[in-house]
Chain A
Amino acid sequence: MVSQTVKCPSCKTIMIITGEPGEKTSITCPSCEQKGVFTIPGEKSTAPTLSQQTAIEVSGLRKTYNHVPAVDNVSFSVNKGEIFGFLGPNGAGKTTTIKSILDLIHADAGSITINGIDVRTRGKEAKKYVGYMPEKVAFYDNLTAIQNMNFYAEIKHASKQECVSLINELGLGDTGKKRVGKFSKGMLQRLGMARALLGSPPILILDEPSGGLDPRGVVLIRDKILEMKKKGTTIFVSSHILSEIQEICDRVGIINKGVLVAQDSVESLSKKLNLKPQMSITLDKLSPAVEDAVRNLPGVEHVVSKGNTLEIICDGAMKAKVILAITNAGANIQNLQTKEPSLEEVFMRYTEA
């Protein structure tokens, strides 16, 4: 929404109108009642929207370098509006997959569509839906941040005002006129995020977006990702910082040695692996009778005592029964902590040699 002041042509009364840029509004002057049509200045927002439920579809992707497969028969899909985390150890094929989605790398086999459009044959059209932040963010060092962004905006058919507002949003407002060659790694990363957001694409592809950032930068990027999700943006993010992905992702795909080994929500992946939550219960006094009562419960796998604390690994459904057994045995619970299986455990299991 943009506000604009207009002057009535006959009685010179000043009015304020609001609307989207490019929108035509009919107005009536409040004092002399003259009617008129006013077009709000600026280019009409041409941000594309997704027409398909599947934002990105990769099927049977294969790419070999010198007869060694970098990715082999990788298939997955990213649904409209979700955050999809793409995980894997270094050299697993994450960047190869991402670059194939953007047709930067020509795959040997398989098909990739963005919003149902084949990237290989209709790349230009498909890429309109995508904003991309590469793992290695690079700009033209001799040009300023604003000059760089203006160049990319011209290619993406975005406006110059958008460049300025994105630079401000990413906290680079006071460095817009500085040569990018003098930027720190963190500033480059933010500018890279601003570039990916140009033209409000409905899909964001982020390759290790918080690599090399200080904690403040990591939070800024994560907040930006969540903010974009709220606006309905589909986000495909690769990362090795698992704790971060776990917090924000709806689903994850795990790739290892070029093969996609898992694709699901973190919760169902840990269920599939039969990973169990861990409980840590501190009691007023720990007697062997209490410990035995817990140990004899069905579904309890592992019990260790440390001082007045019991460390228990059990089925998720048994947690309440464990607590009941302890109180029935006459002990009082002073502190209780449970740790759900983490993405890290899921990841380690799937990428084990």
Chain B
Amino acid sequence: MQTSIIYSIAKKEIMDNVRNKWIILVAAMFAILTLVVSYFGSLGTSGWQNLGNTISGMTELGSFLISIVAFMLGYATIIGEIERGSMSAMLSLSANRFEIVVGKWLGLGAVLCFTILVGYGFAGLLIALNVSNVDILEYLAFIGLTMLFGLVFLTVAICFSTIFAKRSTALGGAIFLWFLFNIILPIVFVGLLMTTIDFSEITMTSTITAPDWYFVLNLFNPISVYSTLITLAIGPVQTSTGSGFIPNPSWYSTGLLLTILVVWIIVFFILSVWRFQRKDI
């Protein structure tokens, strides 16, 4: 493994995406949406919301958008180069396959993290200028967790681009997975939960205590893991959203949820390398 080759590949990915300009649009979009959520986000009140309300508003919207952006960055990165023909040149110049996956992961990861940092950071700055009690560290933690979440989807996308034999099927797979995590799984899990609840005992003020299996299932969806992690880890979000509709069980911890996101990255990264090593170019 040669770090200079990995660095060159990462640098090339950054240059390629910056020259492509769409990523700059995405960063601008993040900033505008954050500002919109912060200004209009809360029902009944108008004007700038505090950071806690902004973050809780951004968590859901952000997980939708960031999973899309991460997929777009990664789904074609390997298979696209194989189809176009540039992969064979890179490999013939004695870059090995492991170096290529690491370089691409680092380069695309940097582009994704930078986009999140610029978009959310710029918006955060504007909010901080207009709202009095801002905890910068909490907001930075939010940005950091969002980056980690983005990297999960980026790694899955890179893995897809090594598994599928065609760029178009990799895109199909990515779209399916996006729907699965954002829409299908939440509906299925809540649906399963509903079948266990005795609605005759529910009043307007009672909170629902869900069984443990529901919380275990949710750990398999990185989007739920991310949003739960935000409510657990970011102080202002906890206080602003209160206990929520379904309170989290006591065994959910920041450490557990963080570990799950990191494990996703490691597992899919290893799978990407393993698949790419065996692929015919």
Contacts and interface: CB of A to CB of B under 8 A. Distances in A.
Interface of A: 99, 102-106, 123-124, 127-128, 130-132, 134, 136-140, 142-143, 147, 151-152, 154-157, 192, 195, 198, 205
Q: Is the interface of B mostly helix, strand, loop or mixed?
A: helix
- The size class of the interface chain B forms with chain A is 20 to 34
Interface in B9-32: 9, 11-12, 15-16, 19-20
B92 A151 contact: no
A333 to B, nearest CB: 55
Contact of A140 (B5, B12, B93): B12
A123 B96 CA distance: 8
B201 interface: no
B88 interface: yes
A225 to B, nearest CB: 18
Contact of A99 (B11, B20, B88): B88
23 contacts: A99-B281, A104-B88, A104-B92, A104-B281, A106-B280, A123-B96, A127-B94, A134-B88, A134-B89, A138-B84, A138-B85, A139-B86, A142-B15, A143-B12, A143-B16, A147-B15, A152-B90, A154-B5, A155-B8, A155-B94, A156-B94, A195-B89, A198-B93
Interface of B: 4-5, 8-9, 11-12, 15-16, 19-20, 84-86, 88-96, 278, 280-281
Given A104-B280, A143-B15, A154 B89 contact: no
Most buried by A among B5, B84, B94: B94
B92 A127 contact: yes
A124 B15 CA distance: 26
A156 B16 contact: no
Given A106-B280, A154-B5, A127 B84 contact: no
A130 B92 contact: yes
Contacts of A103: 91
A106 B92 contact: no
A152 B93 contact: yes
A151 B8 contact: yes
